[in-house]
Amino acid sequence: MSISLDGHYARPGDPEDMGWVMPYAITDVARDHLTGLWEPATTALLGRVNAEGFLGFWPTVIGMEGADPRDEGFAKWLIDTDKVVLSSTLGEAPWERTTIIDKPTAEVVADLRATEGGDILVLSSASVIKALLAADKVDRLALTVFPVFLGGGPRLFDDGLPAGQWALASQAAGEHGTLALVYDRVR
């Protein structure tokens, strides 16, 4: 999940505008961070809005002139991996290898964990991550912190989350002061 230094994941008034992320998302540290997350994952879990954005954009990166190989690798993984999209409005999946589910997020994750496979990667879907944090169902939290204040907007960490400890599993600092942080839940 990408967050600003002042703790927001989107600008005020337009949570779908991720333009503020772009100058930082193309840094080596951000690209390497994402690669380290998707490589062990066998399932992508997304909310509907994020699925529409990701699955509308990333396939266009494959074969794009000048595309970074890490970006193409992620795009290929996203197309080829199993995707679960949480939605109460989509009737059927417009994307291959995608299942649409209209159930509580924590229940979906419990069902996915009961199957064999690698990591379940939630791709920047704030509503999904927030629901899993509230249910204490996140094992690993990966954050890319960008050195910008958005001055408002939605926050990832709402008051009332279950108390708990997290251990820093990895950290990297990069261009422009971008930080890639991975925390594991201490249980």
Predicted confidence at residue 92, as pLDDT, reads 87
Whether the predicted pLDDT of 22 surpasses 90: no
Predicted confidence at residue 15, as pLDDT, reads 75
Q: How far apart are CA 91 and CA 176, in angstroms?
A: 42
- HSE toward the beta carbon, residue 185, CA cutoff 13 A: 13
Predicted confidence at residue 175, as pLDDT, reads 87
Give the residue from 118, 138, 140, 133 showing the smallest Cα distance to 184: 140
- Band of the pLDDT at 13, cuts 50, 70, 90? confident
Predicted confidence at residue 187, as pLDDT, reads 94
**Mean pLDDT of the region 17-33:** 89
Q: In this predicted model, what pLDDT tens digit does every residue of 61-114 receive, in sequence order?
A: 999 999 999 999 999 999 999 999 999 999 888 889 999 999 999 999 999 999
92 CB burial (10 A radius; 0-12, 13-18, 19+): exposed
Whether the predicted pLDDT of 14 surpasses 90: no
CB 169 within 8 A of CB 140: yes
Mean pLDDT over all residues of the chain? Answer: 93
